[in-house]
Amino acid sequence: MTETRTNIHIPNPAAPTPLEAARLTGGARPEDIESLRLQAAVYVYEVPVRLWHWVNAAAITVLIVTGYLIASPPPTMEIAEATDQFVFGYVRFAHFAAGMVLTVAFFGRIYWAFVGNRHARQLFYVPFWRARWWKELIFEARWYAFLEREPKKYIGHNPLAHLAMFTFITLGMTFMIVTGFALYAEGAGQGSVYDRAFGWVLGLAGNSQRLHTLHHLGMWAITIFAIVHIYAAIREDIMSRQSMITTIISGWRTFKDDRVE
């Protein structure tokens, strides 16, 4: 690193040389220590946010697999008499249970948006009217299209990720929860608490078969989001200027350089 660049850190000359043991055993080279001085970290994702992310990821995985099987059941199995066999019933049970977990966790996540730090709120709001945000969105899109030489630094989601999260998780998952519970209400029966809360959705769709199809398309939208999300997370971890995967595990965002922008 050359000294001509603006440095966001003000090194303390009186600070002792770090990592004495590692340095003396050859585990840390001078340039490693230089890099260490530059490392700064921000605590971004608090425990409830991280916990929600992984519970949500697990629930979505179960929901996608079982949801696909509900629409395209496995081949007929004759393990026992129908009364003693409950294969498809368990598939459906897993789907419903995971759906309940996902919904409760989502409500917990919404609660945390109110009491957590400002990064906990990013998922639920897109600064739609701010021109600068759209400009930054285009910049990030250009970085993904290999038109920018270097990406910018971000503490929370970059604008492109922000939009994708909002569309597929906040809106998409809400759609899946609402249509999912409307379908569940059909089994729970008219007059049930699910029917009173979500029965109107079926009236809106008109035909239950149509509602099933819409829910199924939603599954594919979330599947495709998950594919892109995982790819982008790995790629960002390698190619961006900040940590990505470790951040959703530890909560700390670290940076690979100390330039301001």
Partner 1 sequence: MAEIETFYEVMRRQGITRRSFMKYCSLTASALGLGPAFVPKIAHAMETKPRTPVIWVNGLECTCCSESFIRGAHPLAKDVVLSMISLDYSHTLMAAAGHAAEAALEETIQKYKGNYILAVEGNPPLNEDGMFCIVGGKPFVEQLRHAAKDAKAIISWGACASYGCVQAAAPNPTRATPVHKVITDKPIIKVPGCPPIAEVMTGVITYMLTFDRLPELDRQGRPAMFYSQRIHDKCYRRPHFDAGQFVEQWDDEYARKGYCLYKMGCKGPTTYNACSTVRWNEGVSFPIQSGHGCIGCSEDGFWDQGGFYDRLTTIKQFGVEATADQMGFAAAGVVGAGIAAHVAASALKRAQKKTQDKEEV
Interface residues with partner 1 (CB under 8 A)? 68, 71-78, 80, 82-83, 85-89, 91-92, 144, 146, 149, 186-187, 189-190, 199-200, 202-203, 206-213, 216-217, 219-220, 223-224, 227-228, 231, 235, 239
Q: Closest Cα to residue 61, out of 92, 102, 109? A: 102
Task: Work out how close the CB of 229 gets to partner 1 at its nearest, in angstroms, rounded to a whole number.
Answer: 11
Nearest residue (CB) to partner 1, 125 versus 200: 200
Distance CA 60, CA 80 (A): 31
Q: What is the residue whose two structure tokens read 């970059």?
A: 158
Q: Which is nearer to partner 1, 11 or 75 (CB)?
A: 75
Q: State whether residue 160 is helix, strand or coil.
A: helix
**First and final C-alpha spacing in the chain:** 15
Separation of alpha carbons 154 and 172, rounded Å: 24
Look at the block and give the residue holding tokens 């697999």: 65
Q: Min. distance of Cβ 77 from partner 1 in angstroms?
A: 5
Which residue, 218, 224, 139, is CA-closest to 176? 218
Q: Which is nearer to partner 1, 65 or 110 (CB)?
A: 65
Chain centroid to CA 171: how far?
Answer: 13
Q: How far is the CB of 211 from partner 1 (least distance, A)?
A: 8
Q: How far is the CB of 161 from partner 1 (least distance, A)?
A: 15
> Residues with Cβ < 8 Å from 28, sequence gap 6 or more?
19, 22, 36
| Alpha carbon distance 223, 220 (integer Å) | 5
CB-nearer residue toward partner 1: 4 or 72: 72
CB of 114 to partner 1, least distance (A): 34
Residue with smaller CB distance to partner 1, 41 or 62 = 62
